[in-house]
Amino acid sequence: MTQETSQATTPTLRLTDVRKSFGPVDALKGVSLYIKKGEVIGLIGENGAGKSTLLKILTGIYQPDGGTIEVNGRVTKFRGPRDASAAGIGVVHQEQSLFTNLTVAENIAMNAGGHRTGTRFGFYDWRALNKAASETLEIIGSKLNPKTRVGDLSFVDRQMVEIARAIRTDTSKGGSPLVILDEPTSLLERGETAVLEREIRKLKSFGSVIFVSHRLDEIMRNCDRILVMRNGELVADRVTESVTEDELFKLMVGHASHASKSVRKPVDPKATPILEVYGLSRKGKYQDVSLAAHAGRVTAIVGTSGSGREEVSRAIFGAEKFDSGTIRLDGSEVRGWRIPKAVRKGLGFVPSERKVEGMVGGYSAAENIVLTNPGKAAVGPIVLPWKRNKIAQDWFTTLDVRPNDIGLELDRFSGGNQQKVVLAKWLNDPELRVLVLDHPLRGLDPGAAETVNEQIKKAVANGAAVVLLADTLEEALDMGDEILVMRDGAVTARYDMTVDDPSTLDLLERMV
């Protein structure tokens, strides 16, 4: 076998019996896998399945307790992120890690360890720096100006810079780079997702890709093979053409989908809406927005980034001021509308930025769950730990929160399990009347998304009104009793799902 043939058949990455434990918890239980040059591998699994631990080992953040890692045929050990980068492994994180005050070229020149190239005697060699960045951008087909400040770029363009930085690794010793895309589409709109998917196809021409996503349709579209993890183990390795989304779901969660079909509830013409919004406007954000949220119904709002729907949802909850218009509860106008009054009136809000606005990371999961309704766990003004813990444990069981440790600080849970706790905080309120949900399924695996959707449907069945900013158009069509479409701050269409039957194309045409 010639050296050229040998290099072509040597996997870009091979793991053999890789293990990792945290105290008594076995996060990885002997994972073995391989990735060939030019392959896009989908990596899926429930929140807590071991994906994050595996990625942190591949990028040098964690060191395995056992097993071997081979990169381009060489057994290697990563002492830190810089070693992983030097071996040819780059990562594009779900939450971008760029320096927004620096230029495109400066960001690309920084590897995972923070080391900067293109310097001379401690100073930037700007000509060399920009030239190197241009060459890297050209590889992925991007026409970004390397001199542009990253903070001035759109989200999808910043994603391109992340990819360029990820492929700028040391492959001088031969082999091909491995790019890890960790939930890269979770914050992108549909059109931006299409741009990123084109970039993934380009990456195949010179390297390999691990594509992590909770969206099974994306996995099916973009990947050659799909690896499924469950409880710290690799339970399946499937060629994409030989498997269906339903089969992948069952492999991930251990059972078939139990999702119930939404039951459309027509509006009672004699009933007063719980919440009404009339002519709500805020300069530069949205204008003349009106909606009515009825008990037992879901009002879904769809629109692209910048449509104004996020700002409207925050105004409904009192988190942002509006310039004009009125908000009514049970037919009466409310004044001085702010978060404390909204909560007292029975409104709950699950924000898109759960880590910033939806939770207190240093508090335990149990403390977070009773945060907005401590009365259920208290006698008078005193919160009783045993009552709080009983409430929290019941929600942990209902929502299948993992790990099953109510005393653990919430910022130590995975994103999907944090989202379950944030939702439980509001569902725990027996006086809940209106639930405003801003991308409630963002970052959730299919099994967790199904669990959350079932709890939303249960709250609706119990008489709550829901205002939903859906992650996808399909989610809006499935959950919504009414769908509002927004574009450039205005409502462009309304669909009553008890009589209308819009398609995703119908929604898109009114969104863009």
Contacts 24+ apart (CB under 8 A), 27-30: 27/53, 27/232, 28/53, 28/54, 28/57, 28/64, 28/232, 29/231, 29/232, 29/233, 30/66, 30/67, 30/233
Element (H, E) at 40: strand 40-45
- Centre a 10 Å sphere on the Cβ of residue 306 and count the other Cβ atoms it contains: 14
* 364: its two tokens: 């335990």
Residues 324 and 281 occupy one common structural domain: yes
312 and 177, same structural domain? no
Do 49 and 121 belong together in one domain? yes
- On whether residue 96 sits in a domain, the answer given is yes
Would you say residue 205 lies in a domain? yes
Report if residue 262 sits inside a domain: no
Q: Are residues 49 and 162 in the same domain?
A: yes
Within a domain: residue 386?
no
pLDDT confidence of residue 111:
52
Per the model's pLDDT, the better-predicted residue between 452 and 301 turns out to be 301
Question: Whole-angstrom Cα distance, residue 440 to residue 426?
Answer: 13
Please say whether the beta carbons of 380 and 431 come within 8 A: no
Phi-psi group of 331: left, alpha or beta (phi > 0 → left; psi -120 to 50 → alpha; rest → beta): left
The answer on 319 and 197 residing in a single domain is no
Asked if residue 413 is part of any domain, the answer here is no
Residue 456 pLDDT greater than 80, yes or no: yes
In terms of residue numbers, what domain contains 63?
A: 3-253
Could you give the CA distance from residue 337 to residue 365 in angstroms, rounded to a whole number?
29
Judge whether 459 lies within some domain: yes
Residue 114 predicted with pLDDT over 50: no
Q: Are residues 88 and 8 in the same domain?
A: yes
> Quick one: 40 and 96 in the same domain?
yes
- Looking at the structure, tell me whether residues 231 and 139 fall in a common domain: yes
- Count CB atoms within 10 A of the CB of residue 12: 25
pLDDT of 355 reads: 81
> Looking at residues 48-72, what average pLDDT do you find?
94
Residue ending a domain, among 193, 218, 253, is: 253
Q: Which among 222, 253, 284 is the end of a domain? A: 253
Burial of 108 (0-12, 13-18, 19+ CB in 10 A): buried
What predicted TM-score, i.e. pTM, was given to this entire model?
Answer: 0.74
Listing from the earlier edge strand, what are the strands of the sheet with 66-71? 25-35, 13-22, 66-71, 74-76
Report if residue 68 sits inside a domain. Answer: yes
Say if residue 116's pLDDT is above 80.
no
Nearest C-alpha neighbor of 46 from the set 250, 304, 210, 333: 250
Res 2 pLDDT > 50: no
Same domain, 303 and 217: no
Verify that 58 and 136 share a domain, yes or no: yes
- Select from 219, 253, 287 the last residue of a domain: 253
Q: Do residues 150 and 191 both lie within one domain?
A: yes
In tens, the pLDDT along 165-196 reads 888 754 444 567 899 998 887 767 767 778 78
CA distance 405 to 488: 44
HSE-up (13 A, CA, CB side) for residue 130? 10
Interval 318-362: pLDDT, tens? 999 999 999 999 999 999 999 999 999 999 999 988 887 889 989
Tell me how far apart the alpha carbons of residues 271 and 465 are, in angstroms, rounded to a whole number.
13
pLDDT tens digit sequence for 443-455: 788 888 888 899 9
How many domains are contained in the chain? 2
Q: Give all strands (DSSP E) within 298-355, no chain letters.
A: 298-302, 324-329, 332-333, 347-350
| 373 within some domain | no
What CATH code is carried by the domain that includes residue 475?
3.40.50.300
CA angle 439, 216, 395 (to 5 degrees): 50
Q: What is the DSSP letter of 116?
A: B
**Which region among 88-97, 286-295, 419-428, 470-479 has the lowest average model confidence (pLDDT)?**
88-97
Tell me, rounded to whole angstroms, the distance of Cα 382 from its chain centroid: 37
Structure tokens at 396: 């942990």
> 214 and 297: one domain?
no
Angle at 257 between CA 400 and CA 40, to 5 degrees: 95
